[in-house]
């Protein structure tokens, strides 16, 4: 009976939304109905970061604070929630809860007096820039020079979490539940505020390990950050918990296409291991996952093939946690230098599916028109932690080759052209560690190199269907290189 109800509900959503859908199709095809470019050069609640970068530490110690909030909806038995990440008809409705969703927040301060930076990652497939700006609005009283100079909010890209984008409902009806979105906004702001107030002095350590066996790249050309990165904060005061900040790139899709229950996927279970073994606070920051980069749960790591996807997820998480413990032991102290800078970037929207989603009002995003083209404004960022850790913040699922190089040549690429930029990591020295904080401050989909972009949905080109369009990568690369020139 539940299946029948789902099908009837989905069909009714299509029928009732048909006028909206047809109107959105017409506007998407004709590019009509869009407002002109906003007059304001800098959008409200955009935070530029530090006005000046420092090269030497001012203080002997870092300060850091941590907090988290549960995001699992309490009314799961009474309210319909859709899971975000899988395009299905009827849409995937949540039927229960395996384990909790969280927002985890950490605030870092180099005690230079210039201000602290907040980093919060939400268990969600994606969180839109307009919603993130609402989070910043709620923290405006502690924002500014000497306070919170930067507020970065990202998503773990969990495919077993509640749809926070709106793309995964019974289209043309959005999958967003606004009451849930409002709760996520408030809880994220609360967690950041608590982390800010919880700051305590200590030492920050960094280490990384190359682990190619832990990941696989689902799209050629093969380019991937094969490292697991760990920042470990050790407070000076007794009784204060350490903070583990883990970063690597892998889709949390391990419970599979058929799963209908809410789960935090592997970030939840890695956190459980760290809490149990080390009694430490934990935050997972997603990396460069473009190209459908997944966690590799093959038998070569000792994970039995006969296990269920849920059991494999837990085993994989234990392996990740063991790597983190190893990294914690060999981490090197990082000088208290924290430099953060952000820039706005316009993405041309020429992917029909993205245009249609925007025109149908599925997502909390507002595109505009200029010189006959449609754009949306998003954000990029750049962070320096110490002297040798460089972090590129991407507002979507960036293809790793855009960061680390390894592009298709003109002979190999779909469009028979060269990509006009080098990998962003080439901008840095050989002793620099280059990390990616992915799905940071927005969720604009896959950022695919222009020379290998196909709008035809051919085999091997799925990522283009969830992308702003054929110019997303050059817009991103150009903006990042321009930002790097400004700060160096």
User: pLDDT tier at 51 (50, 70, 90 boundaries)?
Assistant: very high
pLDDT of residue 143: 97
pLDDT at 224 over 50: yes
Q: For the segment 255-292, what is each residue's pLDDT rounded down to a tens digit?
A: 888 899 999 999 999 999 999 999 999 999 999 999 88
Which of 194-198, 240-244, 291-295 is the least confident region? 291-295
User: pLDDT tier at 319 (50, 70, 90 boundaries)?
Assistant: very high
- Return d(Cα 150, Cα 144) in angstroms, integer: 8
pLDDT at 85 over 50: yes
pLDDT at 430 over 50: yes
pLDDT at 5 over 60: no
In the chain, % of residues over pLDDT 90: 76
Terminal C-alpha separation, the chain = 62
Mean pLDDT on 468-474: 96
Query: What does pLDDT average to over the chain?
Result: 92
pLDDT of residue 128: 97
pLDDT at 205 over 50: yes
pLDDT of residue 317: 97
pLDDT at 77 over 70: yes
* Residue 418 near residue 451, CB atoms below 8 Å: yes
pLDDT of residue 31: 74
pLDDT at 28 over 70: no
pLDDT of residue 460: 78
User: pLDDT tier at 42 (50, 70, 90 boundaries)?
Assistant: confident
In which residue are the tokens 């954000």 written? 379
Q: How many domains does the chain have?
A: 1
Q: For the segment 322-366, what is each residue's pLDDT rounded down to a tens digit?
A: 999 999 999 999 999 999 999 999 999 999 888 888 888 889 999
Packing angle of the helix pair 2-16, 18-30 (nearest 10 deg): 50
pLDDT at 241 over 50: yes
- Return d(Cα 15, Cα 299) in angstroms, integer: 47
Q: For the segment 366-392, what is each residue's pLDDT rounded down to a tens digit?
A: 999 999 999 999 999 999 999 999 999
The domain containing residue 66 runs over which residues?
A: 1-488
| Residue 375 in tokens | 């754009």
Mean pLDDT on 185-200: 98
User: pLDDT tier at 26 (50, 70, 90 boundaries)?
Assistant: low
User: pLDDT tier at 7 (50, 70, 90 boundaries)?
Assistant: very low
Q: 15 or 139: which carries more pLDDT confidence?
A: 139
pLDDT of residue 434: 98
In the chain, % of residues over pLDDT 70: 94
């Amino acid at each position: 009976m539940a299946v029948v109800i789902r099908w009837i509900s989905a069909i009714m959503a299509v029928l009732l939304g048909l006028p909206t859908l047809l109107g959105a199709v017409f506007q998407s095809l004709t590019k009509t109905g869009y407002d002109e470019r906003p007059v304001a050069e800098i959008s409200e609640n955009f935070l530029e970061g530090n006005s000046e970068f420092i090269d030497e530490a001012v203080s002997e110690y870092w300060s850091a604070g941590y907090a988290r909030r549960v995001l699992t909806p309490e009314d799961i038995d009474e309210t319909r929630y859709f899971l975000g990440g899988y395009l299905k008809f009827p849409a995937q409705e949540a039927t229960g809860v395996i384990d909790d969703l969280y927002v985890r927040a950490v605030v870092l301060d180099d005690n230079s007096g210039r201000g602290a930076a907040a980093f919060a990652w939400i268990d969600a497939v994606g969180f839109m820039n307009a919603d993130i700006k609402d989070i910043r609005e709620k923290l405006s009283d502690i924002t500014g020079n000497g306070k919170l100079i930067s507020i970065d909010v990202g998503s773990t890209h969990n495919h077993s979490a509640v749809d926070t984008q709106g793309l995964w409902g019974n289209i043309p009806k959005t999958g967003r539940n606004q009451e849930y979105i409002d709760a996520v906004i408030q809880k994220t702001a609360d967690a950041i505020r608590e982390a800010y107030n919880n700051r305590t002095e200590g030492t920050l350590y960094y280490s990384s390990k190359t682990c190619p066996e832990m990941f696989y790249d689902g799209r050629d050309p093969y380019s991937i950050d094969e490292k697991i990165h760990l920042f470990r904060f050790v407070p000076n005061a007794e009784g204060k918990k350490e903070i583990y900040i883990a970063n690597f790139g892998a889709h949390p899709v391990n419970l599979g296409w058929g799963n209908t229950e809410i789960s935090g996927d592997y970030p939840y279970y890695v956190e459980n291991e760290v809490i149990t073994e080390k009694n430490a606070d934990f935050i997972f920051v997603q990396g460069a996952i473009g190209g459908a980069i997944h966690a590799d749960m093959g038998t070569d790591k000792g994970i039995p093939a006969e296990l269920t996807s849920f059991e494999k997820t837990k085993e994989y998480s234990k392996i990740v946690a063991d790597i983190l413990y190893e990294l914690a032991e060999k981490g090197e102290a990082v000088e208290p230098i924290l430099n953060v800078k952000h820039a706005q970037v316009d993405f041309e929207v020429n992917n029909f599916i993205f245009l249609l989603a925007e025109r149908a009002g599925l997502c909390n995003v507002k595109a505009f028109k200029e010189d006959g083209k449609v754009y949306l404004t998003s954000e990029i960022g750049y962070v320096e932690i110490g002297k040798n850790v460089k972090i590129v913040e991407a507002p979507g699922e960036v293809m790793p080759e855009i960061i680390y190089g390894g592009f298709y040549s003109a002979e190999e690429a779909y469009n028979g052209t060269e990509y006009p930029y080098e990998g962003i990591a080439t901008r840095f020295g050989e002793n620099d560690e280059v990390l990616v904080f992915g799905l940071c401050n927005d969720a604009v989909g896959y950022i695919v190199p222009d020379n290998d972009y196909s709008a035809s949905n051919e085999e091997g080109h799925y990522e283009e269907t969830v992308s702003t369009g054929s110019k997303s990568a050059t817009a991103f690369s150009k903006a990042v290189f321009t930002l790097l020139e400004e700060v160096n």
